[in-house]
């Protein structure tokens, strides 16, 4: 789709799925973060006008809608910082915001300017004061790949409890990788934060996969958990890629839960390709793949605890605890798994359950 020029544009169907994930994730993020922090920040760095041509809500309205509906559970200050470089879109967003009943403890700003400049100014001023950014979720949703310098995302993620959800146009980058204009290639190098990105053009092999892996490894330098999702249309063409980078195991889990809830019968397919050896399609039967993965990891290690298995599944794979339970049940049923009859504390283990204090051996 060419970059829209009008103030409002038609929503692409694939944007809906992205919004669905954003909405679900924020439903968890706002209350969790607000519970333990006096102040939390939601940055929408490429906010758009807040509304689509057909009337559907844009990401700023979605975030506010979720937060307003959770306001009773939230006490501290919630800062919303919407940034868009287009004056007309910011003006439209401000008009949309005037129609909302915004709770007193929310601080909402719609700012006109470039995301990179605005965020750099903020981070510079915090550095100068020696202060820290409050826990922040940054939604970084550009049309293309310019204006998202990796150095800046890196600086953001270095702040405690700050995370980023990024629409990353790996396919567009691949198409522009050998562009004759230095400026275009400069944006690519900037987005990756390394010249290695352009070397991928010469290296051969699967360029898209290599670019994706490079971005993933760059994010992994600053974030403990990096998940990568690919969104394809019904003809199996990649529409966009979403990267989520966080240092929190809980938020990592919440993002995975949000992804697993995307309608498997819908027009779009999501896959988790964080581990290239373990592409996970969300509509697939998960048990055989997870069984194989667990056996690869735990077989031959003797007795391990349920906690070790759960943490492995939750932190290192695309799967959730419910998938772990199904996989362990399947393995126990064919006697390839032994579970100690008593748990670590001496209590009897309940059949078909794999609590943290269970003793589990992959045979």
Ligand X SMILES: C[S@@+](CC[C@H](N)C(=O)[O-])C[C@H]1O[C@@H](n2cnc3c(N)ncnc32)[C@H](O)[C@@H]1O
Binding stretches for ligand X (CB under 6 A) = 46-48, 58-59, 83-86, 89, 114-115, 141-143, 147
Q: Minimum CB separation from ligand X for residue 110, in Å?
A: 11
DSSP state of 350: P
Q: Based on CB atoms, which residue is closest to ligand X, 46 or 260? A: 46
Dump strand ranges (E) for the chain: 39-44, 77-84, 106-112, 136-140, 162-168, 225-232, 238-246, 269-272, 280-281, 303-305, 337-339, 359-362
Answer for the pair 48, 59: CB distance below 8 angstroms, yes or no: yes
For helices 13-36 and 59-69, what crossing angle results, to 10°? Answer: 40
Region of 56 (left: φ > 0; alpha: ψ -120 to 50; beta: rest) is: beta
CA distance 241 to 270: 9
Burial 325-338 (b: 16+ CB within 10 A, else e): ebbbeebbeeeebe
What is the separation of C-alpha 176 from the centre of its chain, rounded to a whole number of angstroms? 25
Residue 52 or 362 with smaller CB distance to ligand X: 52
Nearer to ligand X by Cβ, of 59 and 174: the residue is 59
What's the closest the beta carbon of residue 266 comes to ligand X, in angstroms? 18
Give the phi and the psi of residue 117 in degrees, each rounded to 5.
-65, -45
Q: Min. distance of Cβ 184 from ligand X in angstroms?
A: 15
Nearest-approach distance from CB 86 to ligand X, in angstroms:
4
Q: In the complex with ligand X, which residue's Cβ is closer, 47 or 271?
A: 47
Give the shortest CB-193-to-ligand X separation in angstroms.
Answer: 17
**Residue with the two structure tokens 């607000």:** 34
Residue 335 CB partners (closer than 8 Å, separation 6+)? 363
Nearer to ligand X, 22 or 294 (CB): 22
CB of 84 to ligand X, least distance (A): 4
Residue 166's CB: how many other CB atoms inside 10 A? 22
Region at 113 (left for phi over 0; alpha for psi -120 to 50; beta for the rest): left
Structure token pair of residue 12: 């692409």
- Residue 55 CB, nearest approach to ligand X (Å): 13
Shortest gap between Cβ of 152 and ligand X (angstroms)? 11
Q: Indicate the residue among 142 and 190 with the shorter CB distance to ligand X.
A: 142
Q: Which residue's CB is nearer to ligand X, number 48 or number 135?
A: 48
Starting at the edge strand found earlier in the chain, the sheet holding 303-305 runs 303-305, 359-362, 337-339
Q: Which is closer to ligand X, CB of 83 or CB of 294?
A: 83
């Amino acid at each position: 789709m060419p970059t829209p020029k009008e103030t409002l544009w038609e929503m692409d169907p694939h944007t809906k799925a992205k919004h669905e994930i954003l909405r679900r994730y924020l439903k968890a993020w706002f209350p969790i973060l607000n519970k333990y922090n006096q102040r939390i920040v939601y940055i929408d760095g490429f906010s758009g006008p807040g509304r689509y041509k057909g009337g559907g809500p844009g990401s700023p309205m979605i975030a506010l809608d979720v937060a307003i509906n959770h306001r009773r559970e939230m006490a501290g200050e919630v800062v919303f910082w919407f940034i868009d470089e287009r004056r007309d879109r910011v003006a439209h967003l401000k008009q949309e915001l005037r129609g909302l009943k915004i709770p007193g403890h929310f601080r909402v700003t719609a700012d006109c300017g470039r995301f990179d400049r605005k965020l750099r100014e903020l981070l510079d001023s915090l550095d100068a004061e020696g202060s820290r950014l409050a826990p922040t979720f940054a939604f970084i949703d550009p049309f293309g790949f310019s204006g998202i310098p990796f150095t800046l995302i890196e600086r953001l993620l270095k702040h405690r409890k700050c995370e980023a959800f990024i629409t990353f146009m790996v396919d567009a980058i691949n198409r522009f990788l050998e562009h004759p204009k230095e400026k275009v290639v400069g944006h690519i190098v900037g987005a990756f934060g390394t010249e290695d990105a352009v070397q991928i053009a010469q290296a051969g092999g699967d360029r898209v996969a290599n670019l994706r892996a490079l971005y993933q490894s760059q994010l992994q330098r600053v974030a403990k958990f990096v998940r990568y999702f690919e969104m394809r249309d019904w003809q199996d063409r990649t529409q966009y890629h979403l990267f989520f980078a966080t240092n929190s195991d809980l938020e990592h889990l919440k993002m995975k839960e949000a992804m697993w809830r995307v309608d498997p019968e819908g027009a779009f397919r999501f896959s988790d390709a964080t581990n290239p050896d373990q592409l996970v399609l969300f509509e697939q039967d998960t048990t055989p793949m997870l069984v194989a993965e667990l056996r690869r990891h735990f077989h031959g290690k003797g007795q391990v605890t349920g906690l070790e298995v759960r943490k492995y599944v939750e932190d290192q794979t695309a799967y959730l605890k419910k998938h772990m339970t199904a996989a362990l049940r399947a393995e126990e049923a064919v006697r390839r798994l032994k579970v100690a009859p008593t748990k670590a504390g001496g209590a009897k283990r309940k059949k078909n359950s794999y609590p943290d204090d269970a003793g589990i051996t992959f045979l």
